Structure 1
Amino acid sequence: MRFEEFSRGEKFLHAEPRQITCFLERDELLVPSEDIVYYALRRWYDEEPRIRLQHFIEALPVVRLQLVPSYEFENVHEDIKSVRAALTENFRREAAVYRQEFARHRALIANPRPRASQAVRKFLYVLGALWNERQSLQRYDFASGEWRVETDITDARKRAAVTVFNGCIWVAGGLTDGNEPLYSVCAYDPVRREWSPKMNMHEKRYGFGLAALDGKLYAVGGRNTYRVDPLNGIYSGPDNLNTVGVYDGSAWTTGVSMNKARYALEVVVACGRVYAAGGWGTTENASLKSLEHYHPKTSCWTLILSPMRHVRKNFRIAAMGDIIYVVGGDRSHSIGEFNALYQRWIHRNFHLFSLPSIRDGLAATASDGLVYVLGGLHQNLETKSFEYVNIATGANGNLRDSPEAPGRDASAVVVTFPMHGPVPS
């Protein structure tokens, strides 16, 4: 079991302070980044804040804080203001030097005291847009900085939903080249480098969201018919969907519906919940600023009281730890940050924290303290450029261009492989 899953369980949350310190100082923790260790400690504190405050402060030194963005501490609950006092001037200097080194070398974040289990291989996979009945899959190796063109998807489609589930890349629904909505699902095994069909969804969908949580897949919202007025190009079909399909590994069933119908929405998992953001709420294409989340324990969707600051179309969403990043959109290069643990937005200077360039229909994901963006249209032209933004410092830069332009509305996911298991060649 990965540490993030374990840290949400009763054994961890009810552990004694001495046990917590022993858990967190172990080099063999299986975590992709140190943020997860910090948020685990914070969740443990939140179980009994009055009793555990001093223990929280005492345990902080075993968290390798250099990889936790400094602004995160501003979101710590008011009852633990003394946490700031525990951050010694020595740490502040160390963190500042670390950020300067990162900005100078433009390298991926690497923990100066890495945990043994962080010896993992990470790959970025980009599923391109459908073009001339072909849909490419490209892979970027974070270790070598090299791109590779993988096996094209055998069942090409557009406006499909993509996520990582059980170590494979799952692609569900979408439209055929002739604009027929699809039930079908397929998955790509990165180690075997082959596609295989999976069980069809019970409802056709396109322009929807797909997320994996606790061994289940959630297919959220979208549309199930394609009907466009040939005179004005405006959708004239039935209402957008608020329905949810759930796959448990053996069958698809009908889940709990969202509060709002959404098409072209984005979904992501954070804090053990499925979040649905934005999208078009009606057939008149009225865009939504609202967010809502589904909690498996309560089996209900809850609207977030604080919506996105701006209406966004063609944006992307990603999560690291307990923070959700809302990335780009039409004519925008802003990044919004939502703290899923405390259910509030983080406000930062837009000019110091934004995408390097404006892209329409971009692909985006997040990993190891960076938000990655690629594909889409820049100045109405397809682009191969691959850019990133450092969450801690706001610095941005470029990595090696992709071999092929992913096109508009491509999808990007990060797949992690422990070094002790099978790794793609």
Structure 2
Amino acid sequence: MGDLVQAAETFISKNLGAVLKSSDFLQFGVDDVKSMLKLESEQDSIDEDKYRSVVSWTKHDKDRRRKHFSDLFRLIQLENLSNEFLNDVVHKEELVGSSVECTNLIITATLSRLLGAQVYKKMKGQSDEIIIIGGLSCEQSVAKFNTKTIQWSNMPDTNIARMWPSAVNYNQQILLMGGAEGLSGPYYNSVKMLDLNDENPKWDSNLPSMGEKRFAFASALLDGLVYCAGGWNGNSSLSSCESYNPEERKWSSIRNMNEKRNSHALVSARGSLYALGGGDGSYTKTNTAECYDPRKGKWEYIPPMKTCRYGLAAVVLNNEIYAIGGNAGSKNLSSVEKYNLDTKTWIDVPSMNEEKYGGSACVVDGLIWVFGGYGAKTVEFYDPATNKWQVSTNMDRERRFLCVLSI
């Protein structure tokens, strides 16, 4: 049976263009279409055929299939499409123009082709590498992980313990904020910076401190500003938030969240911030989530997650917010759910292979990478195209309550 399947796949691959153009293709289910789009072919124009087939398949039953269009569109190698085809065909398609994700994919592909993939990644502050900072048991340690070679390397230590800090990558400058020397403190409001643009980067402590001491808090970048929300100051959980302007080197307070939160997550998407889960400091874990729009200047609740998540990780990928792992009060979690920004609903995602409470996550090349957590030994990644988690390797050492960032 295996030989028969392989022979069939080989035949289809060699005749992929004809299969994509056939009337039978319009009757395929979405999973079969995805499988076809992932097949390689020696035909020069195969990506044009793939694009046309996706449009035709979607329009064959537009009301039901439209929701799958962006997922299928991202499986097309847009870099292989000519500028003429993009301008004369793709840009004029209503299915593409009405999708923010599809438009962003076209922009990325165009710039990547014009500038070169590695140059474009560098401009966007992205590469194949991830920086891992601090965490319980190795608070001063900083490491770098290459997602392609699966190799670890050392980076300059922070020289001061940073347990459960928060960090952002601002134009290849790593801003490391807050944290504590240990669970019982002392707690910090200080900020350090590692400039990866330097040939020999070193941590710089000559930056303005946050307005409040923050431990087990969360941060995110939005429109050139660094936002920090919630946390623990040594006495109580916080609802307070502040923003930092790196160009002006100035911190400013913004509106408090509706709830006190520590051990929560914060992400930015579509011009807003999203705070997820955490707890209020009284051993109460929450599934609530809220959104801050700087234009409105206030926090508003969004639908709660399905599961209470304390010490979770979160990322944004393909117009969806992923809430990953955490603790629900009685157990650590391997479960994952995602929030669709268009439908405003939470849906389940396949669980990780390992429970991860106090882990951290980031996105590299369309994959979600998760590191660390209480007792967690593995590095895992999630591919939305296959809807599966895979174990990549083991951690270099035990790390929980850490920060990870794509660089």
Amino acid at match of 2:156: T
- What SS does the aligned partner of 1:242 have? strand
1:182 and 2:181 matched: no
Going from structure 1 to structure 2, the CA distance change for 1:135 and 1:406 (only over 3 Å counts) comes to farther
Corresponding residue number in structure 2 for 1:329: 326
Q: Which has the higher helix share?
A: 2
Corresponding residue number in structure 2 for 1:127: 133
Unaligned runs of 5+ in 2: 1-46, 77-105, 122-126
Identity %: 25
1:411 and 2:393 matched: no
Going from structure 1 to structure 2, the CA distance change for 1:63 and 1:405 (only over 3 Å counts) comes to farther
Going from structure 1 to structure 2, the CA distance change for 1:356 and 1:136 (only over 3 Å counts) comes to same
Corresponding residue number in structure 1 for 2:379: 386
- What SS does the aligned partner of 2:238 have? coil
1:194 and 2:202 matched: yes
Corresponding residue number in structure 2 for 1:271: 270
Q: 1:143 Cα deviation (Å)?
A: 4.0
Going from structure 1 to structure 2, the CA distance change for 1:317 and 1:85 (only over 3 Å counts) comes to closer
Amino acid at match of 2:189: Y
Which residue among 207, 214, 221 is the counterpart of 2:216? 207
Going from structure 1 to structure 2, the CA distance change for 1:279 and 1:82 (only over 3 Å counts) comes to closer
Across the aligned residues of Structure 1 and Structure 2, the Cα RMSD in angstroms comes to 3.2
Corresponding residue number in structure 2 for 1:21: none
Matches within 5 A, 1:367-386: 367-378=364-375, 383=377, 385-386=378-379
**Whole-Å separation in 2 of the counterparts to 1:414 and 1:363:** 11
**Whole-Å separation in 2 of the counterparts to 1:158 and 1:413:** 16
Q: 1:216 Cα deviation (Å)?
A: 0.8
Deviations 1:43-97 (A, max 9, x none): xxxxxxxxxxxxxxxxxx989979x9xxxx99xxxx972764996xxx79x87xx
**Whole-Å separation in 2 of the counterparts to 1:389 and 1:302:** 30
Amino acid at match of 1:405: R
Deviations 1:389-421 (A, max 9, x none): 21221223232434x314121221112xxxxxx
Conserved 8 A contact 1:354-1:394: no
For structure 1, which segment, 185-194 or 295-304, has the greater mean C-alpha deviation from structure 2 after superposition? 185-194
Conserved 8 A contact 2:178-2:213: yes
**Whole-Å separation in 2 of the counterparts to 1:251 and 1:389:** 37
Going from structure 1 to structure 2, the CA distance change for 1:310 and 1:137 (only over 3 Å counts) comes to same
* Count of aligned residue pairs for this structure pair: 302
- What SS does the aligned partner of 2:169 have? strand
Unaligned runs of 5+ in 1: 1-60, 96-110, 227-236, 416-425
Which residue among 314, 334, 353 is the counterpart of 1:356? 353
Deviations 1:127-147 (A, max 9, x none): 131437x52111112343322
Going from structure 1 to structure 2, the CA distance change for 1:153 and 1:393 (only over 3 Å counts) comes to same
Corresponding residue number in structure 2 for 1:16: none
**Whole-Å separation in 1 of the counterparts to 2:243 and 2:289:** 20
**Whole-Å separation in 1 of the counterparts to 2:180 and 2:189:** 9
**Whole-Å separation in 2 of the counterparts to 1:81 and 1:308:** 28
Deviations 1:113-171 (A, max 9, x none): 89424333331111131437x52111112343322111111232212112222322211
**Whole-Å separation in 1 of the counterparts to 2:161 and 2:192:** 10
State TM-score, norm by structure 1.
0.64
Corresponding residue number in structure 2 for 1:99: none
- What SS does the aligned partner of 1:207 have? coil
Matches within 5 A, 1:66-85: 81=63, 84=66
Q: 1:375 Cα deviation (Å)?
A: 1.9
Q: 1:365 Cα deviation (Å)?
A: 2.1
Going from structure 1 to structure 2, the CA distance change for 1:142 and 1:205 (only over 3 Å counts) comes to same
- What SS does the aligned partner of 1:81 have? helix
**Whole-Å separation in 2 of the counterparts to 1:358 and 1:180:** 29
State TM-score, norm by structure 2.
0.66
Conserved 8 A contact 2:165-2:402: no
- What SS does the aligned partner of 1:152 have? coil
Conserved 8 A contact 2:326-2:333: yes
**Whole-Å separation in 2 of the counterparts to 1:346 and 1:65:** 28
Q: 1:207 Cα deviation (Å)?
A: 1.5
Amino acid at match of 1:275: Y
Amino acid at match of 1:199: P
Deviations 1:282-325 (A, max 9, x none): x4221111110111111111111x20101112211111232111
Conserved 8 A contact 2:243-2:253: yes
